[in-house]
Structure 1
Amino acid sequence: MKIDPLAEVVTLLQPRARFSKLIECGGSWRFRRKGTGDPFYCAVLEGQCRVTVDGQPPLILRAGDFLLVPAMRDLIKESLDLPQGETPEEPIEIGEGRFRVGREDEPPNLCIQIGHCSFGSPDVALLVPLLPRLVLARGEPRLATLTQLVGEETRAHRPARELVLERLLEVLLIEALRCGCETENAPPGLARGLADDRVAAALRVLHARPERPWTVAGLASEASLSRSAFFARFSRTVGMPPMEYLLAWRMALAGRLLRGQELSLDQVAERVGYSSSSSFSVAFARYAGLSPARYGRMYLNGQTGEPAQPPSTI
């Protein structure tokens, strides 16, 4: 069976919808939202605006654009003609799932569908670093359609609603990551790595056999590149060096195995490429911020706290 690393990561993340709404804006306006590191996405249906995400350089979004932020902490949206010093406004609800920002006596200059979701996986801190910090796709109408479907399903209370939402969000995230990696200035990340045939070959064998004693030279051979060319190409497209990515994926798999409580520590270590439980325990504790035994107990006891954010992020 052919391994699909992107599908593996998105499925493990377990995306869940929190809410979705349609926002109309008129006149000069600005609104700001603080996040807690959960995913945020939006599709611009009409008009244009300026967006600043987590203090990064602002982006101009226009009709047909789709923005995905896998871990949003601060978001500012504003009209392009906004005067200096304008105070952020709170969206006012004008109907079910519909909100208004700015002057009500002026026609809307922006219509945008936004959504907030969460990742249900307890290993979110181990998996999110494999995604780009921000994805921008332009001119992909199917993303707007998927966004609207998520919004409609969020407001409905039909049978199997949660299952439908989970599947829609999985498709939405995969489609956004695939479309976002096709742009000229695509950010580094797993999807961009998979768009490169040589790097993709290495990623697939790495995901298929994480227990193998991989080296940069061995992965370079799978990619049919020299060691130095492979290292540079992988780091540029994926956003982290090959062995750092391998560590991140091994730790994410280890988290799932530890939660299952079905394997011994020695067996988990072997499954993710470590010759002994002691060497695995040291690596896991350094990366996840707590020992494998404590990690397993935490989820066995139903605790909801997340492991510490790993040191390496894209």
Structure 2
Amino acid sequence: MATDPLAEIVTLLQPSASFSKQVDYAGRWRINRDVEGKPVYFAVLEGQCRVVAAGRPPITVHAGDFVLSPSTSDQVIESIDAPPHGIDMAPAEVGPGRFRVGAANEPVNLRMQVGLCSFASPDAALLVSLLPAMVVARGEPRLAQLLQLVGDETRQSRPGRELVLERLLEVLLIEALRCGTDIAAVPSVARGLSDDRLVGALRAMHARPAHSWTVAALAAEAAMSRSAFFARFSRVVGLPPMEYLLAWRMALAKRLLRGREVAIQHVAAQVGYGSASTFSTAFTRHVGTPPMRYARAALIG
């Protein structure tokens, strides 16, 4: 099993591409994005614009910047000179994979490659909650290249298309999360992995989920006192250490059960429980259904 927490989370999300398109923007414009919480990402190819999201200060992005919002709702992008109200627009298709926003007689002031994807994982809400709300990567041309590859693949019907798209998106998301900046600075596992004191404890939990971890043992991995570690982990990651460990163990257990691994004792041992009954109790309390019933439902589905 991999021991890179970020890679594990992105892989478990099971990303798939819904579409990728190039959009030209002209004049003064504003787009209200309401995509039911689906992840949105875009690379600014030319020009600049403003991104406004609820509860966060507006940010300006420029050519060469890449923006990822793992869970998007109530996000607005607008021209720098957009007035406060009354200018909402929608993209109009002008060719295969190409769209335009704004009046036809206005010069283009922004060009972006925009993508929308979805996460197939039943635990997507939990896993997304461990990621930053918004990531901006500046001056990382690899991200624009990866997005272009995603766009090319979505417009083709070549053999292995879905698998290629899934792998490209995994690489794209990991690259954005490891080199970007969390503008909102909200708690997330990505912030924890960039924290020199917490990264050791996070990697230890992911490397050995079956270990009988305690807060004191995890604090030792971080070379911190128990109380200081607990407070710092809760503040930076957004969950207390043992709650994070429980959530991760349950996500792993679900993956094992969905993979036709229905020997409950074996699953229990892999995620840190000494007996099938103790694991079944914890799984039922956390998931809302016993593990055997969950496994049967996964097989039927």
Contact 2:132 2:185 in 1 (8 A): no
RMSD: 2.3
Q: Distance in 2 between matches of 1:288 and 1:28?
A: 48
CA deviations 1:105-138 (Å, max 9, x no partner) are 1111111111001122233234222222221222
Q: Distance in 1 between matches of 2:247 and 2:132?
A: 14
How do 1:1-314 and structure 2 match up within 5 A? 3-53=3-53, 56-181=56-181, 186-302=185-301
Contact 2:192 2:236 in 1 (8 A): yes
Q: Distance in 1 between matches of 2:139 and 2:185?
A: 14
Q: CA separation of 1:176/1:282 partners in 2, compared to 1, >3 Å: closer, same or farther?
A: same
Hey, what does 1:310 align to over in structure 2? none
Deviation at 1:2, TM superposition (A): 7.1
Gaps of 5+ in 1: 303-314
TM-score (norm 2): 0.90
Contact 1:92 1:101 in 2 (8 A): yes
Letter in 1 for 2:260: Q
Higher mean Cα deviation, 209-218 or 196-205?
Answer: 196-205
Q: Number of matched residues?
A: 301
Higher mean Cα deviation, 274-283 or 227-236?
Answer: 274-283
Higher mean Cα deviation, 268-277 or 109-118?
Answer: 268-277
- 1:60 aligned counterpart, secondary structure: strand
Letter in 1 for 2:262: L
CA deviations 1:198-250 (Å, max 9, x no partner) are 31211121112112221111001112221122223323332322112111111
Identity of aligned pairs, percent? 63
Q: Distance in 1 between matches of 2:42 and 2:196?
A: 30
Q: CA separation of 1:285/1:68 partners in 2, compared to 1, >3 Å: closer, same or farther?
A: farther
- 1:198 aligned counterpart, secondary structure: coil
Q: Distance in 2 between matches of 1:134 and 1:294?
A: 36
- 2:72 aligned counterpart, secondary structure: strand
Q: Distance in 2 between matches of 1:85 and 1:31?
A: 12
Higher mean Cα deviation, 70-79 or 47-56?
Answer: 47-56
Deviation at 1:54, TM superposition (A): 5.1
TM-score (norm 1): 0.87
Deviation at 1:252, TM superposition (A): 0.5
Letter in 2 for 1:235: S
Deviation at 1:10, TM superposition (A): 1.3
Q: CA separation of 1:276/1:37 partners in 2, compared to 1, >3 Å: closer, same or farther?
A: farther
